[in-house]
Structure 1
Amino acid sequence: MCGFFGFLPNLDIKTYDYSKMEEATNIIHHRGPDDDGFYANEHVFLGFRRLSIIDLDNGHQPLSYLNDRYWIVFNGEIYNYLEMKEELLKRNYEFKTNSDTEVVLAAYHLYKEEVVHHLRGMYAFLIWDNIELSLYGARDHFGIKPLYYAETEKGVLFGSEKKSIEFVHRDIQTLSFDNKALQHYTTFQFPPEPFTMHREIKKVLPGYYFKIKRSEKLLFTQYFKSHFIPQKADFESLKNEVLKTLRNSVRIHMRSDVPVGSFLSGGIDSSVIVALAKEVNPQIKTFTVGFERDGYSEIDLAKETARYIGVENIHKVITPDEFLEELPKIVWHMDEPVADPASIPLYFVAKEAKKHVTVVLSGEGADELFGGYAIYREPFALEKFNRLPEMLKRLLLLLGRIIPNGVKGKSYLERASQTIEKRYNGNAKIYLEKEKQHLLYRYDKEIPFYTFTSPFYNEIKAYDDPTKMQYIDMHTWLRGDILIKADRMTMANSVELRVPFIDKEVFAVASRIPTEYKLANGTTKYILRQAAKEIVPESVMKRKKLGFPVPIRHWIKDEWYDWIENFLQEEKENPYINTFYVAKLLKDHKKGKGDFSRKIWTVIIFLLWYNLYEKGTTIEALQARIIGSYRHQRSFEG
């Protein structure tokens, strides 16, 4: 796993400071602490930071091919590179290294833009052609690896992380805050792709590539779309195909010249990965974190699963103090505000894993591909309601709005009275539109959340409701939350994370599974559970989904209450967020009037990000501010 920075200057730009580009590359040192490299001429700049995984001695980048015609910077892994290399050797292509990166370059020479159709893996890369004087770039099918870009008055900037582009962009021209991205953030708890918090910087969407020459506008081509196409099939045959495909995916995801471990949360997804990984490497190490509070630790479950499978489990308990101390650094690494509390335990488990391995496997993506979220069963619960006359449904909706918050049945009536398009925006729905009118000083009534999700729903009108929900999560939650935090939190610790579930061959099978095979017998991921029976303990099959739970609900009410109250007071001049409204939520949360922890946390993460990336506060200063306030409160209580 690595990181890169690229610059394609406009034709009228004759001189530029490449030292600034080198600094921008080194800002992401954490993505590649083992090596750096730079290639520059009058047409292009490519900078690289390397984390050595395959061909440790010869994998230096930028890498050239065919007498320096092509130069590449590549972030990711191509899992089928050995098979591709064998095919290229038959066509008389020659190789100087054993790296997957050189295979990509040779394949590009053969297939040109269509090379992406031959790649199986996670990747973002740039390829410069010294004969065509063109730059080609692509991002993998599902968005496992990040790729940002910005078109400036001096040329186009590219980067693995947004912070590198910001560093150079601010030297060229100012950046403008994107209020639309903020408004969507307060719904989703992340700015959905391609948005970032700055209008000038965007993300290349998953499954897209581009080819550009100097002074041209960027034009993107979509080469992959993750559609679900359920097909009638024999359950047993399909179940066996699921397990066979997963076994193959785990096997090739373990190709590495450095030690590979695995995260283990105690649930079915990571347990399946570990059980299959053990078939390849019986000595594989597993890693788990948890908290001291009852109900918020999977350590015991993970240890039990590890004993059953027969692998070592290394675990760590996270305290509220160290959680807070690392928080500003975590927000800095994230690039954008992402308010998923699970980011923090992911950071700590990666930090623990780094002591033992360089590569880890993880179970991300199983829920989106195989129908694993409990909310996917909601359409079944609403079936009877949907058969009611429209007049009666409207009356019940009005009743739901009148019922006070917290009263049982209110949420059900409100959700049941709305279409799937209006009620489901993905796995997180933090602030409702009526709440955002109080929260945001610059709320725009013309951009409710469904203006973002509507285009996706328009693509899938023939889907049943549970599959529509999966599709929305694939295009919002998976790429904007799950994969962002997975990449940033592991890369913050210079660890490469691999996700065998999020694989184009696994998706090819998962996309064909009928809904009745995913949501059956009152459970979720039914076919995956059945497929896993022979390799994981029965107790795992019945466990409630947790996934590194975080006790912020309790900490905000108890240990953290005073510092958060002080922090909101200090941030009262923020031009975008009404902190007085949030302070009221905090008081109501303390009094037990409702669980407002996720709403409060979403604002706290944004304000921390705003301090770091808009006000220029250093990580150390923000740490001192938070920890100082927290420890003062604790000592006073003591």
Structure 2
Amino acid sequence: MCGFLGEFSFNNSDLTNSVLFDSLLELSKLRGPDSTEVIREDDFQLGFNRLAILDISENGNQPKQSVSKRYTVVFNGEIYNYKALQKRYQLKNLQSTSDTEILIHLLDKFGIDKTISMLNGMFAIAIVDNSNKTVSLARDFAGIKPLFYGISKKGIVFASQFNQIFKHPWQKGVLKLRPEIMKEYFGFGFMHAPNTIYENIFQVKPGELLEFSNEGQLIKKSQITFSKYVSKRNKKGLKMTYNAVLKKAVYKQLASDVPLASFLSGGVDSPLITAVAKVSKKDIEAFTFGIDHVKFDESKKAVGYAKHLQIAHTLEKVDESEIVSHVEEHFKYFSEPFGDYSSVPTYVITKKARKSHTVMLSGDGGDELFFGYPRMLDVLNKRQWFLVPFFIRKPLIAILNKLNIINTWAPYSYRTLGEWIKSKQQYILPNILNSFFEKDVFSKEVNDLFKISNINSKKKLLHWLRWNEFYGHMQRVLIKVDRASMGNSLEVRVPFLDKDSIKYAWDNIPLQLNDHNDLKKVLKDNLAMYYPKKIVQAQKKGFSVPIEEWLRNDLKENVQEYISQKPFYGEDHINIVKVKRFVSDFFDRKHNNGWGVWHIYAWQKWAYNHVLKNTSND
């Protein structure tokens, strides 16, 4: 895993001087602490911070030029099928054993479009075509690795981190907040690609490939996506079981020239990944994080998994005070506004894991691909209400609730199913959020994400829900894990999001919720191949922390300082009086929305750590 920064000038504009460019590159040093190199040409410069995983010698360093010298590349991530591609196309005269080496040879052989379409992995790639004078930006199809870019009159700047873009001199004087994206952050806790909170700064979308000319034109745009609705199942894929698909995915992701282990929780996803990994790597080690809080600790169950697998197991047990003590530190490594408070324990566990390993396997993506969230069942059970016209539905729901015949207000409060589903992923309720941002609506991209039809068909609704989770909520999970782990120079791999695993889940998995309402049945069935039934069926507690307690006790003074006493960043676009009242009502116990308070707190901590740092008194 690595970090990069690049500039590509338009119309022979001057590039940033080397001292300033190098200081911006330094911002992503923790993403790649092992080496730093820069290539400078007349119309572009590329800088790279490397975390050495494959071929840890200098031969694996970047930026790299292809053999023909046509392409200059920086690449963050891993290409898991690089050995298969090397064998298939009989690539020779290689100067290293890294996956980047295979990438540059493929570019010479096939060009950019075809090469990117062949890749299976997690990646953010920038490619300068020295012949055509273009720059291309590509991101993996699941959005695992980040890629930001900013457009200005002088050129395009692209990087692994948001702060490397908004601090770039080409953005000086033109940096302007987008209130509708601010509103989305306060509601959802992150910025949905392709947007960011600033005008002219964007994210490459999952699976997207962009190509820009040296005159500043976007000359090509394509995207590998997974469809909202699947009408036909791919019978070809049914020849393989999911267990066979997952074994191949995990095997490919075990490639490493540095210490590798697996996270192991008490749930379903990471225990399955760990068990499958042991099939190919007998000496695989497991790492479990425990917290001294009975409501959230599931380390005993993880210990049971490890004992059954007979693997070396590290259990890091910490008390709440140690996690709280890392809150301030962890904000330094989130260079974009991010409001999921589980980022704190994620930062701590990756910090602990990095002491002995450089690469970890994770179970992220299992919930989104295999129907793991109870909110999906809730939508299925209540979807028919949204077929009733709103003017009839609203009084009917009120009467039925009053008579205790039903116990739901969702069909009363929301006109459409999409609006209700959108509210389920917001952590500040729509009516409160609208009082913060009275004139602003969500962006077209977010509205499109929650636009749904064909709710009559249970099958189509299930496929849509999975699509929505994949391109919505899962992106927040991936941001959390990437930023927290990279803050500790740790690479985290996610086998469930292997390209073949996603395709199999999308096309071939029978929709169990149709018949059984059993969340993640496919994964549970696979887990039962490796563990006793009594372990598999135990209830998962969830990876979380007592955020309400923290905010009202340990963090109260700091929260009040940053929200009530310091100038509020972007205050021209938000109703500060209502924001502060929302927070004070929380401390007065008029509501218990710790999530919402954290979103506001995290916004201010981000602003003062990354935007206002030079002007604050901190």
Shift of 1:496: 0.7
Whether 1:473 and 2:469 are equivalent positions in the alignment is yes
Compute the displacement of 1:283 (Å): 2.2
| CA deviation vs aligned residue, 1:540-570 (integer Å, no higher than 9, x gap) | 4324444411110222244434443344321
The match for 1:375 is 375
Name the CA distance, whole Å, in 2 between partners of 1:579 and 1:292. 37
In 2: Cα distance, 1:618 partner to 1:31 partner: 26
Q: 2:603 aligns with which of 575, 582, 606?
A: 606
What is the one-letter code of the residue matched to 2:329? K
Q: Give the match for residue 20 of structure 1.
A: 20
2:417 is aligned with 1:420: yes
Amino acid at match of 1:435: I
For the structure 1 residues 335 and 38, does the alpha-carbon distance in structure 2 shift closer, same or farther, using more than 3 Å as the test?
same
User: What is the aligned counterpart of 1:457 among 448, 451, 459?
Assistant: 451
Paired residues of 2:421 and 2:450 also in contact (CA < 8 A)? no
Match of 1:74 in 2: 75
| Residue identity matched to 1:464 | K
Instruction: Specify the alignment match of 1:88 in structure 2.
Output: 89
CA gap 1:101/1:384 in 2 versus in 1, 3 angstroms: closer
Task: State the identity %.
Answer: 25
Q: 1:220 to 1:310 in 2, by over 3 A?
A: farther
Aligned positions of 1:155-234 closer than 5 A: 155-169=155-169, 172-227=172-227, 229=230, 231=232
- The aligned amino acid for 1:111 is F
Describe how 1:104-183 pairs up with structure 2 within 5 A.
Answer: 104-112=103-111, 113-169=113-169, 172-183=172-183
The CA distance in 2 between the partners of 1:288 and 1:398, in whole Å, is: 47
* Structure 2 letter corresponding to 1:477: H
Given that residues 334 and 489 in structure 1 are in contact (C-alpha distance below 8 angstroms), is that contact kept between their aligned partners in structure 2? yes
Return the offset for 1:262.
Answer: 1.2
3-state DSSP class of the match of 2:427? coil
Secondary structure, aligned partner of 1:338: coil
Give the counterpart letter for 1:365 in structure 2: G
Q: Partners of 2:610 and 2:354 in 1: how far apart?
A: 27
SS in 2 for 1:158: strand
1:97 and 2:96 equivalent?
Answer: yes
Q: Unpaired segments of 5 or more residues in structure 1?
A: 623-638
Cα distance in 2 between the residues matched to 1:572 and 1:411: 38
CA contact (8 A) 1:426 1:469 kept: no
Residue aligned with 1:196, SS: coil
Letter in 2 for 1:101: T
For residue 424 of structure 1, give the secondary structure of its aligned residue in structure 2. Answer: helix
Q: Report the Cα offset of residue 571 of structure 1.
A: 3.3
Q: Write the distance in 2 (CA, Å) between the matches of 1:271 and 1:378.
A: 27
Residue type of the partner of 1:274?
A: T
CA distance in 2, matches of 1:86, 1:484: 33
CA contact (8 A) 1:268 1:540 kept: no
TM superposition shift of 1:44: 1.2
Partner in structure 1 of residue 64 of structure 2: 63
Which residue of structure 1 aligns with residue 433 of structure 2? 436
Q: Which amino acid aligns with 2:196?
A: T
Distance apart, 1:155 and its partner CA: 1.1
Q: Is the 8 A contact 2:401 2:407 kept in 1?
A: no
Alpha-carbon deviations, 1:85-139, whole Å to 9, x = none?
Answer: 11232xx643111111011111111221221111111111112233333323211
Amino acid at match of 1:453: N
Structure 2 vs 1, CA of residues 200 and 388 (structure 1 numbering), >3 Å: closer, same or farther?
A: closer
Please, which moves more after superposition, 530-539 or 362-371? 530-539
Amino acid at match of 1:423: W
5 Å-filtered alignment, 1:578-597, equals 578=575, 580-586=577-583, 588-590=585-587, 592-597=589-594
**Normalized against structure 2, the TM-score is what?**
0.90
Distance in 2 (CA, whole Å) between partners of 1:460 and 1:248 is 36
Shift of 1:245: 0.4
Report the Cα distance in structure 1 between the residues aligned to 2:510 and 2:477, rounded to whole angstroms: 23
1:456 CA drift (Å): 5.8
- Aligned counterparts, 1:306-325, within 5 A: 306-325=306-325
**Helix, strand or coil: the match of 1:334?**
coil
CA contact (8 A) 1:4 1:159 kept: yes
CA pair 418-465 structure 1, distance change in 2 beyond 3 A: farther
Structure 1 stretch 275-284 or stretch 263-272: which is displaced more? Answer: 275-284
Paired position in structure 2 for 1:628 = none
Give the C-alpha shift of residue 452 in structure 1.
Answer: 2.0
Report the CA distance between 1:71 and its aligned residue: 1.9
Which amino acid in structure 1 is aligned with residue 267 of structure 2? G
**1:551 equivalent in alignment to 2:551:** no
CA-to-partner distance for each residue in 1:176-211, whole Å, 9 max, x for gaps? 122111111122111211121221211011111122
Aligned to 2:501: 506
Match of 1:409 among 407, 410, 421: 407
**Using a 3 Å threshold, how does the CA distance of structure 1 residues 569 and 239 change in structure 2: closer, same or farther?**
farther
Alpha-carbon shift at residue 580 of structure 1 (Å):
4.8
Q: How many residues align?
A: 608
> Counterparts of 2:194 and 2:531 in 1: how far apart (Å)?
38
Contact 2:338 2:602 in 1 (8 A): yes
Q: Distance in 2 between matches of 1:390 and 1:135?
A: 50
Q: Counterparts of 2:86 and 2:568 in 1: how far apart (Å)?
A: 58
User: Deviation digits for residues 501-549 of structure 1, max 9, x if unmatched?
Assistant: 0111001110124663256534201122112211134244324444411
Q: What is the rounded CA distance, in whole Å, between the counterparts of 2:69 and 2:132 in structure 1?
A: 13
**CA shift in 2, pair 1:566/1:60, >3 Å:** closer
| SS of the residue 2:497 aligns to | coil
Q: Quick one: structure 1 residues 311 and 581, their matched pair in 2 at CA, closer, same or farther if it must change by over 3 Å?
A: farther
Cα distance in 2 between the residues matched to 1:119 and 1:354 = 28
Aligned to 1:627: none
CA contact (8 A) 2:333 2:487 kept: yes
With 423-432 and 41-50 compared, the bigger mean Cα shift is at 423-432
Partner of 1:257: 257
Closer, same or farther in 2 for the Cα pair 1:142/1:232, shift >3 Å?
A: closer
Shift of 1:171: 6.6
Which range moved further: 530-539 or 99-108? Answer: 530-539
CA contact (8 A) 1:457 1:468 kept: no
The residue identity in structure 2 corresponding to 1:610 is A
1:146-171, CA deviations, whole angstroms, 9 ceiling, x for partnerless residues?
Answer: 11111112111010111112232367
Map residues 278-293 of structure 1 onto 2, 5 A cutoff.
278-293=278-293
Question: For the residues of structure 2 that align with 1:6 and 1:400, how far apart are their CA atoms?
Answer: 60
Equivalent residue for 2:52?
Answer: 52
* Structure-2 separation of matches of 1:200 and 1:531: 46
Any conservation in 2 of the 1:291–1:319 contact (CA below 8 Å)? Answer: yes
Distance in 1 of aligned mates of 2:562 and 2:167? 27
Report the AA paired with residue 56 of structure 1. I
CA separation of 1:547/1:519 partners in 2, compared to 1, >3 Å: closer, same or farther? farther
- Matches of 1:122 and 1:593, distance apart in 2: 44
SS at match of 2:512: helix
One-letter code aligned to 2:365 = G
Structure 1 counterpart SS, 2:496: coil
1-side partners of 2:454 and 2:163: how far apart? 35
Equivalent residue number for residue 492 of structure 2: 497
* Aligned with residue 516 of structure 1, among 496, 499, 511: 511
Please give the per-residue CA displacement for 1:54-101, whole angstroms capped at 9, x wherever unaligned.
Answer: 011120111122153322111111111011111232xx6431111110
Deviates more, 1:290-299 or 1:178-187: 290-299
Q: What is the DSSP-based 3-state SS (H/G/I as helix, E as strand, rest coil) of the residue aligned with 1:47?
A: strand
Partner of residue 528, structure 2:
533
The whole-number CA distance in structure 2 between the counterparts of 1:380 and 1:252 is 36
Q: Which residue of 1 aligns with 2:5?
A: 5
Give the whole-Å Cα distance in 1 for the aligned partners of 2:303 and 2:267.
12
Q: Call closer, same or farther: CA 1:36–1:15 in 2, change over 3 Å.
A: closer
Unpaired stretches in structure 2, ≥5 consecutive residues: none
- Measured against aligned partners, the alpha-carbon deviations of 1:32-57 in whole angstroms (never above 9, x if no partner) come to 10011111111210100000000111
Deviation, 1:577, is 4.8
